[in-house]
Amino acid sequence: MSTYTQIIYHVIFTTKNREKNLLELNQKRLYRFICQTIENKNCKVFQINGMEDHMHLAIFLHPSISLSDLVKDIKVSSNYWIRREKIFPNFKSWQIGYGAFSYSIKELPRVVRYIKNQKEHHRKKSYIEESIKLLEDNGVKYDEAFLF
């Protein structure tokens, strides 16, 4: 008997205090590192992008790993890598917590487009507005004091 799954998440996490220190110049290097970290866990990245203060990922989660463990591994390993490579001099760390929303394979193209167009999207909406909309669209109760 085989196991068949299609576990797709849109994951968002921010820099500590949402400081804008992920300079665009080196973001692609960070994305490559994070993609490799995810692939090393038998997961798959469909899309990764972000802004100077937060990251968005569309991923397939392998059933042998928990989402919280994967996000922890991404944050811990990339935090260490950023410090070692010195590519973002003002980066302190990642904020505690994250947002994650599950989607069907049919919704994946829309999620990928949304993540690809982050720069354009944020010309119209702030990070907080974006977070609240994602939470409300997904029916998640939240406390504005603790937005990811």
Which range is least confidently modeled, 5-19, 48-62, 116-130? 116-130
- Residue 70 in this model has a pLDDT that exceeds 80: yes
**pLDDT given for residue 148 in this prediction:** 60
Question: Residues 58, 9: contact at Cβ < 8 Å?
Answer: yes
Side chain identity at 83, as an amino acid letter?
R
User: CA-CA-CA-CA torsion for 70, 11, 139, 108, nearest 10 degrees?
Assistant: -110
Q: Which of 27, 117, 7 is nearest to 70 (CA)?
A: 7
**pLDDT given for residue 126 in this prediction:** 86
pTM score, whole prediction = 0.92
Q: What are the chain's domains? A: 8-146 (3.30.70.1290)
Q: pLDDT confidence of 131, banded at 50, 70, 90?
A: confident
Question: Residues 133, 140: contact at Cβ < 8 Å?
Answer: no
Q: State what percent of residues in the chain have pLDDT above 90.
A: 76
Question: Residues 102, 139: contact at Cβ < 8 Å?
Answer: no
* 65 three-state secondary structure: coil
> What radius of gyration, in Å, describes the C-alpha atoms of the chain?
15
Mean pLDDT of 25-39: 97
